[in-house]
Amino acid sequence: MILKNLTLNGVLSDITVENGKITAIAPADDKTPGESYDGMTVIPGLVDIHTHGCAGYDTMDAHFEEISSYLAQNGTTSFLPTTMTMDYESIRRVTAANRDVSGAQILGFHMEGPYIAAQYKGAQNGKFIKEPDLAEFKSLPDMKMVTIAPELAGSMEFIKECGAVVSLGHTAADYDTCIKAIDAGALCLTHTFNAMPGIHHRNPGPIGAAVQKNIYVQAITDGLHLHPSIVMLLYKAFGPQRMVIISDSMRATGLCDGTYEFGGQPIEVKNSVARTLDGAIAGSTSTLFTCMKQAIAFGVPFEDAVTMATRTPADLIGASNKGRIEVGADADLLILDEEMNLAHVMIGGVFIHQDNEQHKRYMEEKNVLREIASKFHVTGEFIAHEIINQGNINTTYRVDYRQEDGSVKSYILQRVNTYVFKNPVEIMKNIDLVTTHLRNKVRRLNKPALHFYHTEADNNNYYVQDEGAFWRLLNYISSVTFDTCDDLDTLRGAGEAFGEFQNQLSDFDASLLFTTIPDFHNTAKRLETFFAAVEEDICGRAAEIAEEIAFIKENRELASQLQQMLDEGKLPLRVTHNDTKTNNVLFDRQTFAPLTIIDLDTVMPGLPMHDFGDAVRFAASTAVEDEPDLSKVSLDLNKYRAFAQGFIGKIADALTTAEVKTMALGAITITIELAVRFLTDYLTGDKYFKTNYEGHNLVRARCQLALAKDMLSKRADMERIVCDVVGGI
């Protein structure tokens, strides 16, 4: 696309944009085809390296869609969401939030505190202030900038080692300390003059040091934080290559006066000025575009003010494709009308519209989820949602609520797949019984337990929407999960967790449970269904899987053995989980100790060999469950042993000899069974498992069959390992 007749640095120009980049800039030429922007000016999209939020949202809410959309509409095309002085977990949540946003792009994060001086905390929350902690900081991904007070113990080492741009701020440091910090690598001052000592002619402080060393200075040029003459003083001392305009905007930006939350404290916004209850200014309510225009009004030449809000901040954080109109740079552009008001915004080569599709979809989904979640007993004010891409059956979201004290409480909201679970009410009855039974046991272990919330209207642990959509809400447990895991201790832990789960249910009366999916792990029946689907071949896909069919036929007898033994009464039924993928174990974020088992939909009478088998086919494989490159797929016997030690170690006392002897067979059986289930779904039109692409079920099935083949070749080893584990107990 060619944008024609735009004034660029005073020259009438045509700008070519291709694949999100600027690919040509030429003097305007009447013969060039394209959209004409007569009388309009083009500048780079603004880059805000210090913003806490806008439009009602704060970076600490860990949701960026609304912020990103509002910033984009107001000319900021990329930014560093800036965190507040708060606890580690709250900051970590921000860095883990979804960054696939419709508007302004996230270039990384700016961490403002907690390594700051209490005396100059400004609107930061003093409760969370602490000394620099390098290990903690390094565990937070994509921190591009950090504001610290250099007088704190450990600062100099932190500045040298932290790997981010260090900006000095919220500091009481004197000139000499700041010079030392700059020599150690500090590169910037944070909202210069605000939250630091000013300049005294014999005591020049941080600003004197910044002048001396010619580092970058951030300035909030909203007309409130700095007197216009001070804006000019900074401009004259530092120039457009060193002075960076920031907004330091907070969540009230774009909204009316009122009371808002900021870093866990109440903030009063009156006549657009935000203050804490002690009167400290608490960020601005201006966008970067407004700040830039203010700087121009105070006397900064237009082109220099633009540079200070675009190229200079981009250079400071090493974003060399941002903040400039040059061939090869990202096509983030603002088109201004004759009064220098914002007319059009382009991000990555695409014009931003009020009715942006991605944003609209997000907002629609949000409204639905807000409505559904409100049916349950929840506390706080709904902030936003995020999809959790896990599980092949149900659809799972995290929904976040802001509490009165400013903290965020998350819940899990899940839509149950009623194609798979024909009778979800029975599932919820099972879950109620099972969680009640488990809660009593888990309490003693001081571990978190799953809790399903009830609806306000009917006191059910589920809510059915008009169209029949079936929803449930449960507590969110902060944790990590693994799809693959190389650490043997963690795998052993997962085994122990599933083993413990089974033990905890050993005194549970199985007759109370509904069968949620009949014949779920009846492998013999699964095979029958498969061969019937091959016969019918309703999608015409059987011919391409001839090889797979042959393998399954060959192993039909073997894969049916466990079911036969069960039918003959040679194996006891126990209450089992039946879906023991290791990503159904939640682990502690720091210690990787297992916290709890999730996904209780299929808790039913079953065989422990199936639970063992399902877990090892998932976790002891050398590849993910749907790896297309079969040469990568095999059973890792070390991982297998680790899981066996954990799982069998916990339940061995209760196992019969027949169960021990068929443990390895359980792994082979369930791997073939799952391949058969994926293939049956493929043959019948992909209705059961969620798929991410055409042919996904076939890829999954082939991967499971490759794994089953490898297991068959290692069967003797697998059996020996089980014997060793049992013998060693």
- Residue ranges in contact with ligand GN1 by CB under 6 A: 391-393, 420, 579, 581, 599, 601-602, 614, 625, 674
Range in contact with Mg ion (rule: CB under 5 A) among 176-184, 189-197, 313-321, 596-604 = 596-604
Residue type, position 612, single letter? F
Q: Contacting Mg ion (CB under 5 A), which of 58, 61, 579, 625? A: 579
Q: Angle of helix 523-536 relative to helix 546-554, nearest 10 degrees? A: 150
Q: In the complex with Mg ion, which residue's Cβ is closer, 599 or 673?
A: 599
* CA–CA dist 669, 666 (Å, integer): 5
Least Å distance, CB 226 to ligand GN1, is: 55
Please choose which of ligand GN1, Mg ion, none residue 646 contacts, taking the beta carbon within 5 to 8 angstroms, the exact cut-off set by kind: none
Q: In the complex with ligand GN1, which residue's Cβ is closer, 186 or 668?
A: 668
* CA–CA dist 262, 252 (Å, integer): 10
Is 599 a binding residue for Mg ion by CB under 5 A? The answer is: yes
In the chain the first and final C-alpha atoms are separated, in Å, by 71
**Contact assessment for residue 702 and residue 671, using Cβ atoms and an 8 Å cutoff:** no
Catalytic site residue 248?
Answer: yes
- Side-chain half-sphere of 269: how many Cα atoms within 13 Å? 20
Least Å distance, CB 492 to Mg ion, is: 23
**Cα 75 to Cα 78, 199, 289, 348, 354, distances in angstroms:** 9, 33, 6, 13, 13
Q: In the complex with ligand GN1, which residue's Cβ is closer, 125 or 392?
A: 392
Question: Which x/- pattern over 472-511 shows residues binding Mg ion (rule: CB under 5 A)?
Answer: ----------------------------------------
Q: Tokens for 615, please give them.
A: 């877990």
Least Å distance, CB 531 to ligand GN1, is: 20
Please choose which of Mg ion, ligand GN1, none residue 526 contacts, taking the beta carbon within 5 to 8 angstroms, the exact cut-off set by kind: none
Range in contact with Mg ion (rule: CB under 5 A) among 171-179, 295-303, 446-454, 599-607 = 599-607
**What DSSP element (H or E) covers 620?**
none
* CA–CA dist 706, 632 (Å, integer): 10
389-426 in b/e burial notation, b at 16+ Cβ within 10 A?
eebbbbbbbbbbbbeeebebebbbbbbbbeebbeebee
Please choose which of ligand GN1, Mg ion, none residue 636 contacts, taking the beta carbon within 5 to 8 angstroms, the exact cut-off set by kind: none
Q: Tokens for 485, please give them.
A: 């895991």
Identify which of 562, 558, 522, 577 has the alpha carbon closest to the alpha carbon of residue 662: 562
* CA–CA dist 263, 501 (Å, integer): 40
Least Å distance, CB 583 to ligand GN1, is: 8
Q: Tokens for 343, please give them.
A: 């007319």
- C-alpha angle 471/67/318, rounded to 5°? 125
Least Å distance, CB 272 to ligand GN1, is: 49
Least Å distance, CB 584 to Mg ion, is: 7
Is 614 a binding residue for Mg ion by CB under 5 A? The answer is: no
Is it true that the peptide bond before 206 is cis, omega within 30 degrees of 0?
Answer: no
Please choose which of ligand GN1, Mg ion, none residue 66 contacts, taking the beta carbon within 5 to 8 angstroms, the exact cut-off set by kind: none
Q: In the complex with Mg ion, which residue's Cβ is closer, 599 or 681?
A: 599
Q: Tokens for 136, please give them.
A: 């903690």
Give the phi and the psi of residue 474 in degrees, each rounded to 5.
-135, 170
**Cα 483 to Cα 70, 286, 583, 627, 628, distances in angstroms:** 35, 44, 6, 12, 16
Q: Tokens for 341, please give them.
A: 């008001």
Which are the contacts of 227, defined by CB distance < 8 A and separation ≥ 6?
A: none
Total residues at the site for Mg ion (CB under 5 A)?
2
Question: DSSP labels for 387-416?
Answer: EE---SSSEEEEEEEE-TTS-EEEEEEEEE
Q: In the complex with ligand GN1, which residue's Cβ is closer, 533 or 660?
A: 533
Q: In the complex with ligand GN1, which residue's Cβ is closer, 231 or 619?
A: 619
Least Å distance, CB 394 to ligand GN1, is: 6
Least Å distance, CB 353 to ligand GN1, is: 37
Please choose which of Mg ion, ligand GN1, none residue 412 contacts, taking the beta carbon within 5 to 8 angstroms, the exact cut-off set by kind: none
Q: In the complex with ligand GN1, which residue's Cβ is closer, 112 or 601?
A: 601
In the block, tokens 């006392």 appear at 653
Instruction: Give me the catalytic one of 248, 330, 579, 681.
Output: 248
Is 611 a binding residue for Mg ion by CB under 5 A? The answer is: no
Residue type, position 462, single letter? Y
**Contact assessment for residue 568 and residue 561, using Cβ atoms and an 8 Å cutoff:** no
Please choose which of ligand GN1, Mg ion, none residue 392 contacts, taking the beta carbon within 5 to 8 angstroms, the exact cut-off set by kind: ligand GN1
Q: In the complex with ligand GN1, which residue's Cβ is closer, 496 or 601?
A: 601
Q: In the complex with Mg ion, which residue's Cβ is closer, 222 or 579?
A: 579
Please choose which of Mg ion, ligand GN1, none residue 674 contacts, taking the beta carbon within 5 to 8 angstroms, the exact cut-off set by kind: ligand GN1
Give the three-class secondary structure for 115.
Answer: coil
Least Å distance, CB 98 to ligand GN1, is: 20
Task: Supply the residues annotated as catalytic.
Answer: 248
Question: Which residues sit at the interface with Mg ion, rule CB under 5 A?
Answer: 579, 599
